[in-house]
Structure 1
Amino acid sequence: MKTCTNILLIVLLVSACASAPEKGIPYNNFPVTEQLSGQTVPLDTAIFCFPYRIRIQGDTVAILDLHASEHFIQLFHYPDFSYIASLGKRGDSPEDMLSVENIRWDGNSLWVLDSNKSQITRFGLSLSEDSLLREEVVSLDKEILRALDFVVYDDSTFIIPDYSGESRFCWVSRKGKLLRRIGEIPSTNEEALIQARPALAQAWRSFIDYNPRNGVLAAVTQLGEVLEIYNLKDSTHVVRIGPNGEPKFKVSEGYGIPTGIMGFSDVQVTDNAIYAVFQGRTFKEIAEAAQKGDMTDGGRYIYVFSLEGMPLRKLLLEHYVHSIWLDEQKGIMIAMDVNQDEPITKYYIN
């Protein structure tokens, strides 16, 4: 009965969210800009290739190493960052992982997305609570085209961005079955919407986050400068478009080739606001820097929006970061800098 009730609730929610979104509302600036200096957190055990995501639950830190040679995930104690264990072994055996795109805590469980295997794996705390053990594997429906991100909606459902171009999101059961597609890409590119939806979906690749306490699902585009806010409690949908506009691309052999800027790289919905890492560099600027030997990756800006999408403030960091984690109550932000041997930096925010 609980499953039937959840499915009915999903149908009601997504039916409302599937309606046409509010026309994109532009924003040009933030009322407040703050410069932040961080404190490097020393690590004496782990060596990362590309520390891409940080997720903290209670007293446990999980860090995703996107290009790891042995283990994709490193666990640490919080707040001292002492090493606990490594998991998510890279390899070809049935229990190994080919890739990891994102990780999400759900209580004491850590869910891990492997897009190359089309699987989401759950790791749970061991009896001694000093490590995580592989407990469950969800094989995703073949109708779901290469999942690159996900959030845990409730105890029976995941939300996954749709890269087929048919919709914006897929609602997926804990068994991996596609329940429903919702929404549309809020693009003004009518030609692409009609003739090149898969390429458009690639260009509109977005990073997402969901907060079950306030029901807000946020999506930020990797290219361009677009924030979408879906309130799954009151069924509202807001689209905010920054000065760099929506993702720009050209179509080549069915693929979307980016031509504009690198936009957002991470987003977190807290109880009171939405925090997003923004880069804002053109591909031309990135290429010119690389020719000079500058391979700096990430963004120095944290854009802070209200839960309704109003720009609140812009934080300017001294480091280029890819991922953040916020503890609003303590006024702490942890950021991951892929360019440093010591990648973890702690910031204090008001």
Structure 2
Amino acid sequence: MPLRIAHIISIAYIFLFISCTSESVISGKKDYTDFPQEQELKAKTILLDTALFRYPFRLHIGDRKAVVLDLHGTDYFFHAFSYPDFRYLSSFGKRGDAPQDMLSAENCRWNGAFLWTLDANKSELTRFEFALSGDSLLRQEAVSLDRDILRALDFVMCEDSTFIIPDYSGDSRFCKVCRDGKLMYKFGAIPTVNEDALQSARPALAQAWRSFIDYNPRNGILAVATQLGEVLEIYNLKDSTHVVCMGPHGEPEFQVSGGYGIPTGIMGFSDVQVTDRAIYTVFHGRSFKDIARDVQNGVNHLDGGQYIYVFSLTGEPLKKYILDHYICGILVDEQRGVIYATDVNRDEPILEYSVKTI
């Protein structure tokens, strides 16, 4: 089975973890139907000097380096390049069963000169540092996550060297985790108005609201974009405000079958980035019904979203970019006025879009 099809199908089976106990609270809601500005963008292909990727999913920069996460990497999950010229440096995060290998990779985050990675299958965060030569990464430490944290699928780092991890137990929206991996406390709630699901299908509801997250310590904004439906949540951790932005496709939709939640609505967002000025998201908007029909009919289904939605830091819709490629992940460089994107459908998967940033 092709990887991109397997990735889509796997979404239907991600909803298997345990239940919710807290009531859902919406503390400020904004509905949007459109964007005041639209712009079509044409990509420039970044020509790399090596062929490495099977499913390039995420892209992060820091310390004049760019690191690409290959979700289905054969030998390594991460590949480092110099930035902004994208000259290949090294690969790390070896896939395997040895104690220092990784079983899976969900994301990576920069913290100064250090890079942290998340392995959900081992429930472990690992810190890497570049060698003095600057062309390879060295494994510095591994942090085992508290057993009360149910299968971490994403994470961000806070300015106080703690972690925020989505909570898939259903008890809350997030776990705050200290530097040694111990659970400190939980916060937030699923902002649903689906009372039936809250009463009778909380486990499936919690997983249907699986989200991608990003945090900017300079402005204190934590952005949360749902993988299903069209919901963007904005937590301002400096003033404790919480805004829920709901698009035309609404909440994540699902049916319960055999105790599991099966998605029935649309593929929503696949990445989010909080810059100093705005929130950028990758949006798909295609229904699972259409995707399944394409697969059944042997249509060459392109994985990814063709839109970048831009919101203000308080949730106002600002701009819609319409792309000439289907992409999964983005990296916004406001200083240089470019957005880099990953296209898993191409042999040369790194794209560059020139934009006038918000």
Please tell me the TM-score bracket, short chain as reference. over 0.9
Deviations 1:30-86 (A, max 9, x none): 001100011000012132100000001132010000001100000111111111000
Q: 2:209 aligns with which of 204, 207, 213?
A: 204
1:146-225 matched pairs, under 5 angstroms? 146-225=151-230
For structure 1, which runs of at least 5 residues remain unmatched after alignment? 1-17
Structure 1 residue 23 displacement after superposition? 4.3
Q: 2:70 aligns with which of 65, 69, 77?
A: 65
Contact 1:26 1:240 in 2 (8 A): yes
Q: Counterpart in 1 of 2:262? A: 257
Q: Counterpart in 2 of 1:236? A: 241
Q: Name the aligned partner's letter for residue 156 of structure 2.
A: V
CA RMSD of aligned residues (A): 1.3
Structure 1 position 318 matched with structure 2 position 327: no
Residue-pair matches, total: 333
Distance 1:154 1:30 in 2: 32
Deviations 1:266-322 (A, max 9, x none): 000000000000000000111122223312100010000000000001000101000
Contact 1:164 1:197 in 2 (8 A): no
Structure 1 residue 190 displacement after superposition? 1.1
Q: Name the aligned partner's letter for residue 104 of structure 1.
A: R
SS class of match (2:291): helix
SS class of match (1:143): coil
Structure 1 residue 22 displacement after superposition? 2.3
Distance 2:266 2:170 in 1: 21
Structure 1 position 278 matched with structure 2 position 283: yes
Contact 2:28 2:242 in 1 (8 A): no
Distance 2:222 2:213 in 1: 7
Contact 1:335 1:344 in 2 (8 A): yes
Q: Counterpart in 2 of 1:302? A: 308
Contact 2:178 2:184 in 1 (8 A): yes
Deviations 1:121-144 (A, max 9, x none): 010121222211000101000100
Q: Counterpart in 1 of 2:47? A: 42
Distance 2:330 2:166 in 1: 20
Contact 1:146 1:163 in 2 (8 A): yes
Structure 1 residue 21 displacement after superposition? 3.2
Contact 2:309 2:320 in 1 (8 A): yes
Structure 1 residue 155 displacement after superposition? 4.0
TM-score, with structure 1 as normaliser: 0.93
For structure 2, which runs of at least 5 residues remain unmatched after alignment? 1-22
SS class of match (2:277): coil
Q: Name the aligned partner's letter for residue 199 of structure 2.
A: I
Distance 1:200 1:303 in 2: 25
Q: Counterpart in 1 of 2:31? A: 26
TM-score, with structure 2 as normaliser: 0.91
Q: Name the aligned partner's letter for residue 149 of structure 1.
A: D
Q: Counterpart in 2 of 1:105? A: 110
Q: Name the aligned partner's letter for residue 34 of structure 1.
A: Q
Q: 1:122 aligns with which of 121, 124, 127?
A: 127
Structure 1 residue 154 displacement after superposition? 2.5
Contact 1:54 1:325 in 2 (8 A): yes
Structure 1 residue 19 displacement after superposition? 9.8
Q: Name the aligned partner's letter for residue 48 of structure 2.
A: L
Distance 1:212 1:343 in 2: 29
Q: Name the aligned partner's letter for residue 75 of structure 2.
A: E
